Amino acid sequence: MRSIFTLFFTVLHLISTAQTTEKDSLIIVEKNPKKGFYSDYILFIPKETPQNKEIFLLVEPNNTGRTSDSIEVHKKYAISLASVSSVGNNISTMLKIPLLVPIFPRPTSKELTYTHALDRDVMLEETPELKRLDLQLLEMINDAKSRLNTLRIKVAPKFFMNGFSASATFTNRFSFIHPDKIKALAIGGFNGKLLLPQKEINEIELDYPIGINDLEELFNHEFDLEAYKVIPQFIYMGKLDENDAVQFDDAYSNAERQIINDNIGRNVYERYLECQRIYHKNNINPMFKAYENIGHWTTSDVNFEVIKFFFKQMQQ
């Protein structure tokens, strides 16, 4: 408990010389197709956020946990993520930094298009509302920076990203597409399968979202390994986590599932260890951690480790 108070008072000391916001604010920004985003997003600004001092924006993709053709369902879950005691809200509240949460749909009418995990189906979408959600998120971030600036909250060019479960998978995949945009990221509970920084495994081509074989074809640029390697990352799993999205059709196709099961691992923790080995082999060295007696959830201790990780990056 002492360490929590130590961090809290350290943050207060760092912002004591700056003007700060007086109360928590939750702003729902409406979609703006002219600016390049077709969904609303949420901007949470915790009280005591510094003004007139450069800070970082935290971004956490939304994760409803199920499909629905009602955007109000996804909006409800996104508001909860932004404003209640989620990992992202904990980070934002403790470190006094704004949090952006998109309200991306995950429609039942396209149940295999796993938007909240940024899967292959959604990256091939041509409908305006679902097309290139990664680019839509970047436009939301640009819009949020402008809005924050009018409130005298100055945010750095690069941003933090956080995610758990599907939003962790989204964050991991997004970081491969846009490594130059991210200051640091933390992810957990992602069914043990990370996007691999290689084009093949055992002479089998690894297309997105398993590997980077067709990254250039999909996104018009090659994977920037050097930019990716310098992103500080905290990647964690509970040793009891058996939430295995790999085995479900909305997350992976049959062909993708077979490649993963046969070459990376048939269970969550086995895959997690193999992904670590592959990352290290490619000189990518996140902070990996496994938690005893924890499944597909976080605890206050886990959340605090994530907060400490981002706090350290604020000092770099």
Hey, what are 210's tokens?
């398993």
Rg of the chain in Å (alpha carbons): 19
Q: What is residue 7's predicted lDDT score, i.e. its pLDDT?
A: 57
Q: What is residue 21's predicted lDDT score, i.e. its pLDDT?
A: 79
Taking residue 307's Cβ as centre, other Cβ atoms within 10 Å add up to 23
Q: Where are the domains of the chain?
A: 2-314
Q: What is residue 11's predicted lDDT score, i.e. its pLDDT?
A: 53
Q: Which long-range contacts (CB under 8 A, 24 or more apart) does 111-116 make?
A: 111/67, 111/250, 112/249, 112/250, 113/250, 114/166, 114/250, 114/251, 116/61, 116/62, 116/63, 116/64, 116/166, 116/167, 116/170
Q: What is residue 20's predicted lDDT score, i.e. its pLDDT?
A: 77
Q: What is the pTM of this model?
A: 0.94
Residues lower than pLDDT 70 in the chain: 1-18
Model pLDDT for residues 77-133, shown as the tens digit of each residue: 999 999 997 899 999 999 999 999 999 999 999 999 999 999 999 999 999 999 999
Residue 127: enclosing H or E segment and its boundaries?
none
- CATH code at 2-314: 3.40.50.1820
Q: What is residue 16's predicted lDDT score, i.e. its pLDDT?
A: 47
